[in-house]
Amino acid sequence: MARIVTGSLPLLGILLVVTLTMVRAGELTFELPDNERMCFHEIIEKNVKCTLEFQVITGGNYDVDMELTGPSGRNLYKDTKKQYDSVTWTTDENGEYRFCFSNEFSTFTHKIIYFDFQVGDEPPLDGFDVDAHATAMTQMESSAVTIHEGLKIVIDYQTHHRLRETQGRAFAEDLNERVQLWSIGQSVVILLVGIGQIIILRSFFTDKRPYSSIKT
């Protein structure tokens, strides 16, 4: 799993950690405060295929800066204010690879970010290597492999749907809060206008007797 380097940021900002599989794949959902930068490190061998997918779930305009660097410091990926993206590369050297998420451009908005990091190819089902199988697969073996592939697709779809549901719920709650504040503001304005009209109307009908002095 990628090692977390947070600087002054406490580990309490981490919301969810999903355990590793045999593929050295990890999923993480974490909170990235404003004016903060969070980096993750992983030592990877040469000629290994890696995939990194990330998405901003909540916060601001749902955007974040992301940078991926190799052991020699060479940039493998760099983009600013991305809502989501996926990058796949094959390592060309051994060493420590680092990817960083930055919210330094935001002054007051926290972000909730999800990423899925996979290193290497997925191992065969329970040690069953289809390519190295000595004989033709039986119907049960073929069905098991097919079901396994189907379940992986289902898990992937479930993950994306959960992220979309979380993002949609956060947007709806934020919109509802804004509507409530706008409604309260309108009510206050209407109340003030009504009070002002009453005061003005009363001033029209006030009996003002002129002051007169009687000289003797």
101 and 69 housed in the same domain: yes
In whole angstroms, give the CA distance from residue 213 to residue 14: 84
In a domain, 146, yes or no: yes
- pLDDT at residue number 17: 35
In a domain, 109, yes or no: yes
119 and 145 housed in the same domain: no
- pLDDT at residue number 8: 38
118 and 65 housed in the same domain: yes
Give pLDDT tens digits along the chain (216 positions): 444 444 433 333 333 333 333 345 678 888 999 889 999 999 999 999 999 999 998 888 888 999 999 998 889 999 998 888 889 999 999 999 999 999 988 888 888 999 989 888 766 555 555 555 556 667 787 788 788 788 878 887 887 888 788 878 888 888 898 899 999 999 999 999 999 988 888 887 776 665 555 555
In whole angstroms, give the CA distance from residue 126 to residue 3: 27
Indicate the number of domains in the chain.
2
In a domain, 131, yes or no: no
109 and 179 housed in the same domain: no
67 and 109 housed in the same domain: yes
Residues 23/122, Cβ–Cβ less than 8 Å: yes
Structure tokens at 33: 């405060």
Residue type, 68: L
Residue type, 201: L
3-class DSSP assignment, residue 140: helix
- pLDDT at residue number 136: 63
44 and 102 housed in the same domain: yes
Output phi, psi for 135, to 5 deg: -120, 175
Structure tokens at 71: 């052991």
In a domain, 164, yes or no: yes
In whole angstroms, give the CA distance from residue 117 to residue 99: 10
Residue 14 structural domain: 3-123
Structure tokens at 111: 């972000």
In a domain, 128, yes or no: no
153 and 179 housed in the same domain: yes
28 and 118 housed in the same domain: yes
113 and 196 housed in the same domain: no
- pLDDT at residue number 38: 92
145 and 79 housed in the same domain: no
Hey, which bits of the chain come out as E strands?
Answer: 3-5, 14-18, 26-32, 37-44, 49-58, 64-69, 75-82, 84-90, 95-102, 111-119
In whole angstroms, give the CA distance from residue 18 to residue 29: 9
CATH number of the CATH domain containing 9? 2.60.120.380
Structure tokens at 151: 């379940």
In a domain, 35, yes or no: yes
Q: In this structure, how many other beta carbons lie within 10 angstroms of the beta carbon of residue 144? A: 15
Tell me how long the chain is.
216
